[in-house]
Amino acid sequence: MKSDPYQTPDLPEASPGPDPFDSLIRFLHVVNRKRMILIYAVTAAVCVGVIYYKRLPRQYSSSASLMIRQVSTDPKLETSLAAHGLMSSYKQLLLSDPVLISTVEQLDIRPPELAGQNDPSKWPSALRNMLTVSFSSQENILSAKCQSKDPAATVHVLEALTASSSKFMEDFQQDMSLDLVTRLDIERRELEERLFDREGELLKARKECGDISVSEGSDDSHPITQRVAQLSNELTSVRRRRLELESMYASMLTLVRSNADLTQALQKLSTIVGPEVLQRIPGQGTTNAETVRTLQDELQQMQSELSALSRHYGAGHSEIVRRQSLVNAQQKRLVTAQQEMQQQLNMGLRDPNVGRWILETIRTELTSVQQYEAALQYEYGSAEGQALALSDKLANIRVAEREVEILRQLHTSLLNRLSAIDIGQGGGAFRVAVLTEPLMPSNPVYPVLSTILVQFTAAALLLSLAVIYVMDLLDDRLRSPEEVRDQLHLPVLGIIRKLPEHELKETSLYVHDFPQTVQSESFRTLRTTLALSTTETGCIAVTSTEPGEGKTTLTANLAVAFAQTGKRTLLIDADMRRPGLSKLLNFRTQPGLSEILRAESDIPGECRERVITTEVPLLDVIPCGPRIQNAGMLLSMPALADTIDWAVSEYDQVIVDCPPSLAVSDAAMIGRCVDGMLFLLNPQSTNRRSVLRAVQHLRSMGLNLLGVVVNSMKDEKDSAYGGYGYGYGYGYGSKDAYGEDDDFAEQVESSDSLNEDDDSLYPIRKAA
């Protein structure tokens, strides 16, 4: 069944690049094959390292540990950042020129590194090359190391360095202390003058204010201020009482005019004026009020007498009992009188005379309050003016007091700082203690044989790996079937052994003439692999990267192997540029595929006419036919798909011999018409990049690559199955062009209807 021969193929997505892990594994295999290079390189490196170690001068090292502390009461100087700055400063001090020059001057015997150097300016640089100073800011520990060719010199240098640095710090800190004392004393004298001036101004301001106790820190201590506060409180109270009386007068006037009950108003008036107002109501309960007062006085007298007797007699005494009963009776009479008086009030007061009396009482009280308020207002205004005038003076006094207090604190601080400076001991902020004394080294620290051997061995390994990598790049061959599988990501379907040259000269179909050899068995193994494949392999094509890899020999002998199993097998020579299969089977002069593809109709009939039977039973061949100029365009015609469809319908197995895939696109056009393609390569001679490029090209065309067949046969030009020689400007193979000197060959001009540059026309066949 054929599909549209003009269908444009769908290009698959680009395959991912090589896996880095696979590349690493492949390189490790290469290293394993060339491991002798590593062995020789490491051996040579060890020998050179030992010689180098013997020639190097010995270096000895000694170290000393110093604890650096900063004596300061300032908590800001106790931070980790300050400690780091302290250690860094002392490190710079140890490596400074003055300290290093002083160190050399203290040495009785100079180290070998300073031998012959009399110029003091060169001593610091020479000592810095010998010294290494490091520190730990968290522990305030500074470590100094000295390295020299003389072991005794390392100890002497560190001892002299410690003494020189301590002496330098003592001198520096003593000078700094003297300078600090001088500056602080000048500041003290200036501060004392300012303090005396401000204290005099403060005393003068206090005298102007009357020498009041302003030192308490509050304006309320001044009598004027206290008087203003008292007048303000009293004036507020009087104004509140005046407002209450005015409100009461207005309410009472309304009640009197309406002849309403005055009881509640009278009770409210008693809360403002006093309860005695109830006893002065004209014509209302005068006797009762006097009676209540009399009863209250008598009750108080009786309670006083009872209390006096209770001090001398007990609670059960007859006199105490009698007096207690009299007190109880008096309390009952007082309660009864108060209840009667309250009942009279509850009955209501509606007498106009009482109302006028209440209004007059309120008006009299209001007039008195208003006069008192006016007097208070006048006094408050006078006192407020005096207080405002005094506030400015008090503010100046407070400012002067604060300035005096600040000056006193500064003066005290300066005195404390002056007393804390100890000029005799330098008064410095540094304290240095030697924790570890330098010891005489017994063994050299450099060179170390193990370190040198490791370095030389590592360098030899890197260099040898680089050499192996370069050799692998220059070699660029696929050396094993495993490498073929890993690089191409295709299964290796079979490995064809090298065919004996003397037997190849005797036959064109090796498997048919020498069926019992090991080489023939490799073809049968490949046949079995294809037969057991899960994919359709009834119609396959064989291609390779370049000419001379044994593609034609593989195709012919694989077809013989299929025919020997009883399958009707058809061989098609589709390599119309260099028809090696037709030449191998001596069918070069026979009509073949080129004529079938040029036929305009009846493709099956054309195929039957050009099928040639071979000496192998069940094996037929369609040769290439006459050589033509436009082979690529002819293969792109729909007739190729029709030819393959006919072959699949007539034969059990169809094998197509294709041109190499790297130089021309013929194999890609044929591959779209078959079930799958076999890719042949010789790992001993095929260029890796060429193989990868060829496989990538076939995959990009959407072709089904069944797998790789590895051919170990070498390319020999004098063989009967010699290398390809492609013409027409494709640039590979021999210049010999089959068919040009053949009587049967014909030259066919390109048809005007075919456009050789049209890449969109590809015959496509879907295998049944």
- Amino acid identity, position 506: E
Structural tokens at position 667: 């194999």
Which helix H or strand E contains 742, and what residues bound it?
A: none
Three-state secondary structure of 173-187: HHHHHHHHHHHHHHH
- Amino acid identity, position 512: H
Which one-letter DSSP state was computed for residue 446?
B
β-strands 141-148, 131-136: how paired? Answer: antiparallel
Across 389-420, b (16+ Cβ under 10 Å) vs e yields ebeebbeebeebbebbeebeeebeebeeeeee
> What whole-number distance in Å separates Cα of residue 61 and Cα of residue 149?
9
- Considering the chain, tell me which residue range(s) the CATH 3.40.50.300 domain(s) occupy: 481-495+521-709
Residue 306, CA distances (Å) to 88, 322, 328 in order: 96, 10, 11
Does 447 sit behind a cis peptide bond, omega within 30 degrees of 0 on the bond before it? yes
* Sign of the torsion formed by the C-alpha atoms of 268, 272, 277 and 283: negative
pLDDT at 747: 36
β-strands 612-613, 619-622: how paired? Answer: antiparallel
What's the distance, Cα to Cα, between the start and end of the chain in Å? 6
Query: Do 663 and 730 form a contact (C-beta atoms < 8 A)?
Result: yes
Burial class (CB in 10 A: 0-12, 13-18, 19+), 552: buried
Whether the model clears a pTM of 0.95, i.e. scores above it, the answer is no
Q: Phi and psi (nearest 5°) for 54?
A: -65, -30
List, in order, residues 6 or more apart from 38 with CB less than 8 Å away: 31, 461, 464, 465, 468
Could you tell me how many helices (H) and strands (E) the chain has, helices first?
24, 12
pLDDT at 734: 38
- Nearest Cα neighbor of 622 from 602, 601, 650, 600 is 650
pLDDT at 141: 86
- Nearest Cα neighbor of 672 from 637, 696, 630 is 637
pLDDT at 262: 66
The per-residue pLDDT for range 183-218, each reduced to its tens digit, is: 777 777 777 777 777 777 777 766 666 555 544 444
pLDDT at 14: 40
- Amino acid identity, position 726: Y
Long-range contacts of 514-518 (CB under 8 A, 24+ apart): 515/564
Looking at the DSSP assignment, which residues form a beta bridge with residue 147?
Answer: 61
> The domain 481-495+521-709 is classified under which CATH number: 3.40.50.2300, 3.40.50.11540, 3.90.550.10, 3.40.50.300?
3.40.50.300
Which one-letter DSSP state was computed for residue 9?
P
Three-state secondary structure call for residue 657: strand
Which one-letter DSSP state was computed for residue 137?
T
> What whole-number distance in Å separates Cα of residue 134 and Cα of residue 145?
9
pLDDT at 403: 76
Strands of 417-478 (E only): list them. 430-436
> What whole-number distance in Å separates Cα of residue 414 and Cα of residue 571?
115
Find where tokens 């990538």 sit: 696
Structural tokens at position 248: 């009461």
How remote is the C-alpha of 702 from its chain's centroid?
43
- Nearest Cα neighbor of 71 from 437, 420, 412, 436 is 420
> What whole-number distance in Å separates Cα of residue 659 and Cα of residue 680?
11
Which residues of the chain fall below pLDDT 70? 1-19, 71-82, 137, 175-177, 205-222, 261-290, 340-351, 389-396, 418, 420-430, 663, 713-768
- The helix-helix angle for 518-531 and 551-563 (nearest 10°) equals 70
- Nearest Cα neighbor of 130 from 116, 106, 110 is 110
pLDDT at 178: 73
- Nearest Cα neighbor of 238 from 246, 249, 227 is 246
User: Would you mind telling me the total number of residues written for the chain in this entry?
Assistant: 768
The per-residue pLDDT for range 82-104, each reduced to its tens digit, is: 677 778 888 888 889 999 999 98
